[in-house]
Copies of this chain bind each other. A is one copy, B any other.
Amino acid sequence: MILGNARPNGHITPCEECPLRRVPCLREFSPEELEFVKRFKIDELHVEPGASFLTEGTRSEHLYTILEGWAFRYKVLDDGRRQILNFALPADMVGLQGAVMEEMEHSVEALTPLTLCILPRRRLYELYSQYPTLAFDITWLAAREEKMLEEHLVSIGRRSALERVAYVLLHVYGRAKELGMVRDNVVAFPFTQQHLSDALGLSLVHTNKTLKRLIATKAIRWQGRQFEMLNGAVLDQIAGSGYSGQKNRPFI
């Protein structure tokens, strides 16, 4: 639970220049919405890799939108066993649970240097009462989170190790692609095999061996944090089910 060098930053990106507005799969704000969101964002936060900026069991004063970088949401059992719930990428909202309920049910840790928009939880109701379109967007985001958790649950509960590994890679690659992070079928994955095994509910050793088996099929390549998709169809077939993205999804 090292909190690391989480620090507010004086220099913040104005929402008009938000890099996320250039991502094609995200919906556009109306001028009024943009105006409100500008006032809603009170600051920016930079987090170093390895630092948790939200912690299970605590109540956070803020919720966040990821502007840049990768993170992951996780829970740990008393004896140290860790389960990664999913990865969080730019345009994802984190900390909503802590904003509407008593406290956070999971922690969130940065995988890369992270830039976050800070949104004060005490003004969330203001958003709900004045901007129902944005409130609806937040519900949409929550439903999407639920969808991803459900798919993950099916993977862990009912898929073999090989299928699981194929499925996450397909899933994460697809999400990165939506956000324009893929170039020539290559994307930089910031997570280790340890992260992958904690996400898949497998041991590190077996994750490694399974990964090797997958690489042997020539469907993927993965060396030195660089991941390359060679044959998505094969991967899809191994996973037993495809990854479905979304267009015009909201972000805040």
Main SS of the interface on chain A? Answer: helix
Interface check A136, CB cutoff 8 A: yes
Indicate if the CB atoms of B77 and A150 lie closer than 8 Å.
no
Cβ < 8 Å to B, chain A residues 127-173 = 128-129, 132, 135-136, 138-140, 142-147, 149-154, 156-159
* A side interface size, CB within 8 A: 45
Return A8 CB to nearest CB of chain B, in Å: 26
- The residues of B that contact A28 with a CB separation of less than 8 Å are none
Alpha-carbon gap, A157 to B240, bound state (A)? 19
Alpha-carbon gap, A138 to B128, bound state (A)? 11
Indicate if the CB atoms of B100 and A139 lie closer than 8 Å.
yes
User: Which of A10-18, A78-86, A210-218 touches B?
Assistant: A78-86
Indicate if the CB atoms of B241 and A100 lie closer than 8 Å.
no
- The residues of B that contact A158 with a CB separation of less than 8 Å are 77, 81-83, 201
Interface check A97, CB cutoff 8 A: yes
Q: Contact partner of A154 among B83, B200, B240, B246, CB < 8 A? A: B83
Alpha-carbon gap, A26 to B54, bound state (A)? 28
Interface check A46, CB cutoff 8 A: no
